[in-house]
Structure 1
Amino acid sequence: MFKKSGHYLFLCFMISILVLGGCQGSSTSGSTTNTEGTSSKEGNEVKELAVAARAGAMADALKAIVPAYKEETGIAINVVDMPYDNLKETIVLDIQNKGGAYDLVMMDDPWMPEFGEGNMLVELDSYFEDGLDEDFIENGVALGKHPYNTGKLIALPFIGNVQMFYYRSDLLDKYKLNAPTTWDDVVENAKEIVDKEPDTYGYAVRGQRGNPIVSDYLPLFWGYGGEVFNENMEAQVNSQAGIEAMNTYLDLKELSPKGVETFDSDQIATALTQGQIGMTIAWPSWVSQVDNAESSKVVGKIEFSAIPGQDGNASAMIGNWMLGIPQSSKKVNAAVDFMKWVTSKEIQKEMAKQGGGAPTRESLYNDEELIKMYRHYPAQLEALVNSVARPRTPKWSQIEDTWGMYLSQILVGQLEVEDGLNKANDEIQRILDR
């Protein structure tokens, strides 16, 4: 988040943007701003652009840097932040109703097939005639194409999230435990921490219904060898791998703080940075302040690694936030210009420094200044390069909601594991067959 201690640096940053702005021309690589194309479809001068964004650290960092854009171009950026649960529905309804309330929209990458199939976003290839520059991480760019990785560019990778495993190295050292490489290791280490460390839980699951629990459970499911669909696009969530993964997930719940059935990103970040837990899966943008002495009680005590596996299977889930232009926008040219500016190397670095952005450019993960702030950056880059995307289907949101409902019911004890997974599988198959 933007802190008072950063006001002076931020003012210097704004001044540098103003000085450099007069020297910059247009670019198709996204590294500079073209201030000439700032007219709307109707030819009227653009004074403001509205960006629909997810509430939290990402939106806060975006709000902190956009005054510099107004100083440079005269165009104000209105960041409309809203909770995750409301964001997608709000965007889709506005596009379908041709409302034009938003000129740019942030989207979770699993939404991309639905937005692509629905022709909801402006195609961007003509605005990047030479293609995106090679500094963008390839796995992130693939998410913004429809069809996935091979089709037209409809969004740019904006926030380079990827799941990582976080653990208290001081506690593992204290009790002579090895960093876990399997989920069996995780459970055993968590039990040891709970037994020997007062007021500390061994783990924290992210159990909130819907997207949170599905995203948290999928690495275990993949780790046990699970596949959401087979080669014929038939649901497989009730497989033996699914049963084993869910039983392990329930074991981890018993080693977690009370109330994890409703935990989402904020609660995971708080539990980790306040020293309440020994291990967890987290997205880096949640815990960018883990070494900030002003807000963290575990400075220098957290290490990070690849997601553990089981029986030789392990996968880090990519979770980029994408930035696109809705078809309903009447200010496409100006929106493209802002998109190029905000995804440039310079601005992505500034957002990262404000604590609200995981870059989508490879060079920033090798930037010495940022590595001093975020020592996990080299590991995060490796995770991004080797990450796996969630199933690319326009029905994923429906599938995720349904699967998440049954996983939640299992987690709180309303359904037994096999019964809940069988019901989930049947419902998911019905969604696929529609």
Structure 2
Amino acid sequence: MKRIWQKKHWWALVLVGAMLLAACGQPAAPAPAPAPASPPAQESENNDADQPGVASIAIAARAGAMADALKAVAAQYTQETGIDVQVNDMPYDNLKETIVLDVRNNSGAYDLVMMDDPWMPEFGQANLLANLDDYFTEGVDPDFVPTTINLSREPYGTGSLYALPLIGNVQMFFYREDLIEKYDLTPPENWDDVLAIAEVITREEPDTFGYALRGQRGNPIVSNYMPLFWAYGGRVLDENGVPQVNSEAGVKAMETYMKLKDLGPVGVEAFDSDQIATALTQGQAAMLVAWPSWVAMVDNEEDSLVAGKVAFAAVPGQVNESAAMIGNWLLGVPRTSSKIEAAVDFMKWVTSAEVQKEMAMIGGGVPTRRSVYQDPELIEKYRHYPAQLEALERSVARPRTPYWSQIEDVWGMYLSQILAGQVEIQEGLDRANEEIKNMLP
């Protein structure tokens, strides 16, 4: 009786902690209706090699720890160059619309903009950003993790460079190392292993579930399900842009997702970040997929019951190897800026290994360079860095289409219905695929 009561009502006993996730776990704000791209603005006469006379540059940034760290290091840049860096931080939901309207109105208010990486296809195709190829004639520093640079090009991976990766977020796999050792198990390499371990822990540990997943409609369930979808060989869109969410891989991934649901808390259909974070830190869940920003919370000895007991790894694979979702923040230059040279100079400076390390040390940076992840001082401070680098190197980008936010809404609605038992797996995925097909040009 004790076990049943605790497993059904544990959330009433634990402290529900609020936490701010990286934006990749947040729904993208809808962009204004597409408009014909304006012709490129004429560059200012100041855009020579040294950009003489530039007194300041303005950045549109995502509010929070990232913007705070950016402000801190920007002060150092001002001391070195005499150029004032104005960091204008704003909530996630307002940032995208602000950037789009600024360029389309040709106001030139911002010289640099932070962008959630799924925005890149839309921004690139709509001619909102300055092409940076001429500023990197010898190529981009190979110290950047290649997956992060791929996000900065349009078309993805092969096109012109429109940004540099500033924040290297990527999903990671969190697991209770103490319980793995207790039952003489080995860390999972694929999702079959995850299921087997979750079954053992759920059966043997009275107060701990084997796994916790996000089931809330929209972005939460899509971002949590996609690593399985990719691991089983799924593709959202094929090479011709035709949706494939109802493929055999999609069905198998969802079957596994449903099994994981049965090995987790009751009510996961409504779970988002706060609920599974609480499950992990209060010792109620043994495994889950989460973002690097969670590590500090897990290791906080004052609030976490599992400090020092959780290990980190790249997300398990299946047919394909690890398929974690990459969720970088990029730094680009609006084409309407009159200070492009100065903006590029700051962009190169702030993404340098030295400044990335400084941002990481003050808690507002997630590196995009291999050398920073391999820095002994940072590894001592952030024990998850080796696993995070592996996850980043083996990560997968969300579909590079301007229609991603609409696809995510539809897909997430049907995945949630399937998880809640309102529709069978194949039927729900078929409906999702048909609606996605109808919305695409």
- Give the TM-score band, short-chain normalised: 0.7 to 0.9
Equivalent residue, structure 2, for 1:307: 315
- Select 2:87's aligned residue among 78, 88, 97: 78
Q: Displacement, 1:326?
A: 1.9
Question: Which residue of 387, 391, 401 maps to 1:379?
Answer: 387
Corresponding residue for residue 159 of structure 1: 167
Change (3 A) 1:261 1:57: farther
Please say if 1:125 is aligned against 2:160.
no
Q: Which residue of 1 aligns with 2:325?
A: 317
Report Cα offsets for 1:184-236 as digits up to 9, x if no partner. 33233223333433443322223343333222111111222222233433221
Q: 1:226 to 1:74 in 2, by over 3 A?
A: closer
State how 1:352-371 maps to structure 2 within 5 Å: 352-371=360-379
**How far is 1:425 from its partner?**
0.1
Alignment correspondent of 1:52: 61
- Aligned equivalents of 1:232, 1:50: Cα separation in 2: 37
2:434 corresponds in structure 1 to 426
Q: Aligned partners of 1:112, 1:233: CA distance in 2, in Å?
A: 17
Q: How far apart in 1 are the matches of 2:99 and 2:49?
A: 26
Are the aligned partners of 2:315 and 2:391 in contact in 1 as well (CA < 8 Å)? no
Q: Structure 2 matches for 1:81-100, cutoff 5 A?
A: 81-83=90-92, 85-100=93-108
* Equivalence for 2:117: 109
In the alignment, the residues of structure 2 paired with residue 329 and residue 160 of structure 1 have an alpha-carbon distance, to the nearest angstrom, of 25
1:88 partner amino acid: K
C-alpha RMSD of matched pairs (Å):
2.8
Q: 1:263 to 1:94 in 2, by over 3 A?
A: farther
C-alpha contact (below 8 Å) 2:324/2:395 kept by paired residues: yes
Relative distance call for 1:189 and 1:402 in structure 2 (3 A) is: same
Q: What is the alpha-carbon distance in structure 2 between the residues aligned to residue 86 and residue 401 of structure 1?
A: 19
Asked if structure 1 preserves the Cα contact closer than 8 Å seen for 2:238 and 2:244, the reply is yes
User: Could you list the runs of 5+ residues in structure 2 that have no partner in the other structure?
Assistant: 1-47
* One-letter identity of the residue aligned with 1:37: Q
The answer to whether the 8 A contact 2:151-2:157 is kept is: yes
The residue that corresponds to 2:23 in the other structure is: none
Secondary structure at the residue paired with 2:173? strand
- 1:194 equivalent to 2:202? Answer yes
**Does residue 1:218 correspond to 2:226, yes or no?**
yes
**Per-residue deviation, 1:301:** 1.4
- In structure 2, distance between residues paired with 1:97 and 1:206: 39
Matched residue, 2:42: none
Please say if residues 225 and 241 of structure 1, whose CA atoms lie closer than 8 Å, have aligned partners that are also in contact.
yes
Deviation at 1:276, TM superposition (A): 3.6
CA contact (8 A) 1:243 1:417 kept: yes
Task: Call closer, same or farther: CA 1:302–1:220 in 2, change over 3 Å.
Answer: same
Name the aligned partner's letter for residue 229 of structure 2.
F
> Residue 362 and residue 95 in structure 1: after superposition, are their counterparts in 2 closer, same or farther (change >3 A)?
same
2:418 and 2:424 in contact (8 A); partners too: yes
Equivalent position of 1:30 in the other structure? none
Report whether the alignment pairs 1:407 with 2:421: no
Distance 1:127 1:262, change over 3 A: farther
The question of 1:228 aligning with 2:236 is answered yes
Specify whether residues 296 and 426 from structure 1 end up closer, same or farther in structure 2 by C-alpha distance, changes over 3 A only. Answer: same
Give the counterpart letter for 2:55 in structure 1.
Answer: V
Poorly superposed stretches of 4+, deviation over 6 Å: none
Q: Could you report, residue by residue, the CA deviation over 1:7-42 in whole angstroms, capped at 9, with x for unpaired residues?
A: xxxxxxxxxxxxxxxxxxxxxxxxxxx995375xxx
Residue 350 of structure 1 and its aligned partner are, at CA, apart by 1.4
Cα distance between partner residues in 2 of 1:51 and 1:220: 34
Task: State the TM-score, normalizing by the size of structure 2.
Answer: 0.79
The residue that corresponds to 2:73 in the other structure is 65
User: Whole-Å Cα distance in 1 between the matches of residues 241 and 288 of structure 2?
Assistant: 31
**Residue equivalent to 1:11:** none
Identify if the C-alpha distance between structure 1 residues 123 and 400 changes in structure 2 by more than 3 Å, giving closer, same or farther. same
Q: Could you tell me which residue of structure 2 aligns to residue 332 of structure 1? A: 340
The change in CA–CA distance for 1:415 and 1:330 in structure 2 (over 3 A counts) is: farther
Instruction: Note if contact 1:100-1:330 (Cα within 8 Å) is conserved in structure 2.
Output: yes
User: What whole-Å deviation, never above 9, does each CA across 1:296-329 have from its counterpart, x for those lacking one?
Assistant: 4433212122322335654233322211122243
The one-character-per-residue Cα deviations of 1:129-184 (angstroms, maximum 9, x if unpaired) are 33322211222112111122222110101112222211010112223333222323
Q: Residue 232 and residue 282 in structure 1: after superposition, are their counterparts in 2 closer, same or farther (change >3 A)?
A: same
Deviates more, 1:180-189 or 1:147-156: 180-189
| Correspondent of 1:37 among 51, 56, 65 | 51
CA 1:312–1:348 in structure 2 vs 1: closer, same or farther (change >3 Å)? closer
The answer for the alignment partner of 1:283 in structure 2 is 291
| Structure 2 residue aligned with 1:397 | 405
Question: Given the two structures, how large is their TM-score scaled by the length of structure 1?
Answer: 0.81
Query: In 2, Cα distance between the equivalents of 1:38 and 1:303?
Result: 51
| Alignment partners' CA distance in 2, 1:68 and 1:258 | 50
Identify which of 235, 238, 242 aligns with 2:246. 238
Shift in Å, 1:371: 0.9
Summarize the Cα distance change of 1:125–1:206 in structure 2 as closer, same or farther, 3 Å threshold: same
